[in-house]
Amino acid sequence: MVVIPRLDRGIQCLGFEKIQVVTNIQITHMMNIFLFIWLNFTRIIMKYNKISFIFPGQGSQYIGMGNEFLEGFDIARDIIDEASRVLGYDVAHLILKKPRFGKIRHKADLNKTVYTQPAVLITSYLCFKVFETFCKEVKVHLEPAFLAGHSLGEYTALLAAGTMDFKTTLDLVKKRATYITEFSKTYPDAGLMAIVNRGSELDSNRVDSLCGEFQVYKSIINTPKQIVVGGFRKNLTSLAKQLKKENMHGVPLNVEGPFHTPLMQPAADKFKKALDKCNIQIASKPVIANVSSEAIVDPEHIRKELYLQIFSNVDWRRSVEKIVANGGDLFIELGPKTILSKMVKDIAPSAKTLNVENMETLKQTVKELAEIEGDL
């Protein structure tokens, strides 16, 4: 309920859409102007104190992601066209659109890191820009308090925060994916495995002990019930057997290398040369970092974070907890699937989650955010 000040006890707001005059006082010309502005430009009842935009990473990709927005929004087509120029191939047909032929081969290409990472960045940024455009069209004023992204998604968060332009960000992600793939070939028998405890929280100290015993590394701390570890597959296989004895599960992940482990430092060192050359600006909004879980805004800290992130563990759980501890009560996932939304609910059950990845979720999210006159 939003209440208009009762001028001379003559006007009050009943609900949100209806204004009733309860006395015969004369409304002045200035009051008419006030009401017009109020009705047409302040049409939203915001339900949440601090909103966070979150962006997914590798693993959220699927054939056809982003299609609906390409058909309905010029901004989406502009992003795809620019991405194609930067990457040197037709993004819309090779990555985003469902092919008429060769679907199996197409899916295999999409799941290769060199294609996956640019594709997810492009789609997530596309979702963000469409959401931003749509909110402006229906006069929803939305100001996120925080931004965050999971692994690759951190680049989308930094892009949305204005630290880099689209071309610079996409070029960095292309190099990141290329170097990670190159150095992963140095360790063909290495990979990642998720440690999952479906019944209760994982004992972090016990996981640390097992990592030392089986010579693997913590890679990603996703939720209280899921931690990803990386290393050589023979060690991961041995660890999985021990986990089963302790009523935990080891789930191998379909990735090309031991991402976010010390084994990837050579890739990070090569990437750092490109990172040091790119133009990075101060962020317009705080971005919660994967490695440190601190709010980063200045170029020096951003460069350090993006360098460390390649060979250090991503602590998504701590990032979400940091946002919640600072008043974050709504998370909007912008990009393919709802993997992060589910993680947020595991970390902070009381937090509200919404997502935008197609027209249906776009409209549902905007309706949830505010009561708006008329049909969207």
The CATH number assigned to the domain holding 292 equals 3.40.366.10
- CA–CA separation, 223 and 263 (whole Å): 23
276 and 352 belong to one structural domain:
yes
| Whether residue 290 sits in one domain with residue 153 | yes
269 burial type by CB count under 10 A (0-12 exposed, 13-18 middle, 19+ buried): middle
pLDDT of residue 30: 40
Which of 208, 229, 252 represents a domain boundary (last residue)? 252
Answer yes or no: is 11 within a domain: yes
Residue 259 domain flag: no
Residue given tokens 């350090």 in the structure block: 304
**Which member of 184, 260, 292, 293 is catalytic?**
260
Active site residue 93: no
Same domain, 159 and 82: yes
Q: Which of 201, 225, 252 is where one domain is finished?
A: 252
Per-residue pLDDT at 109: 83
Tell me what the pLDDT averaged over the chain comes to: 86
Banded model confidence at residue 324, pLDDT cuts 50, 70, 90: very high
**Total domains, the chain:** 3
What share of residues in the chain are helix, strand, coil (percent, to 5)? 50, 15, 35
**Is residue 258 assigned to a domain?**
no
Residue 93 has a pLDDT of 80
Q: For residue 221, is it within any domain? A: yes
pTM, full prediction: 0.86
CB within 8 A of 349, min separation 6: which ones? none
Phi, psi of 264 (to 5 degrees): -95, 10
Mean pLDDT of 197-217: 96
What is the rounded distance in angstroms from the CA atom of residue 58 to the CA atom of residue 149?
11
**Residues 230, 219 contacting (CB under 8 angstroms):** yes
Which residue, 200, 232, 252, sits at the end of a domain?
A: 252
Residue 116: band (very low, low, confident or very high) from pLDDT cuts 50, 70, 90: very high
CB within 8 A of 224, min separation 6: which ones? 201, 202, 317, 346, 347
Selected catalytic residue, list 151, 293, 319, 341 = 151
Residue range of the domain that includes 25: 7-41
- Asked whether residue 273 falls in the same domain as residue 138, the answer is yes
Known catalytic residue: 292?
A: no
Biggest alpha carbon–alpha carbon distance for the chain: 84
Q: Per-residue pLDDT averaged across 236-241, rounded?
A: 98
* Angle at the Cα of 208 from the Cα atoms of 207 and 213, rounded to 5 degrees: 95
CATH number of the domain that residue 206 is part of: 3.30.70.250
Same domain, 165 and 197: no
Mean pLDDT of 30-38: 38
Whether residues 132 and 149 fall in one domain? yes
- 138 and 238 co-located in one domain: no
User: Do 320 and 176 share a structural domain?
Assistant: yes
In a domain, 320, yes or no: yes
Q: Is the pLDDT of residue 27 over 50?
A: no
Q: Indicate if 131 and 96 belong to the same structural domain.
A: yes
**Are residue 164 and residue 204 in the same domain, yes or no?**
no
Same domain, 145 and 98: yes
**Which residue, 359, 187, 168, is CA-closest to 256?**
187
Range 245-256 average pLDDT: 96
Phi (first) and psi of residue 217, to 5 degrees: -120, 145
Tell me, yes or no, whether 99 and 174 share the same domain: yes
Rg (the chain; Cα; Å): 24
Compute CA distances 99 → 103, 104, 235, whole Å.
6, 10, 39
Q: Is residue 374 part of a domain?
A: no
pLDDT reading at 2 higher than 80: no
Per DSSP, 30 falls in state: H
**In a domain? residue 349:** yes
pLDDT at 372 over 80: no
Number of CB atoms found within 10 A of residue 18's CB: 7
Is 375 within a domain?
no
* pLDDT at residue 23, as a whole number: 35
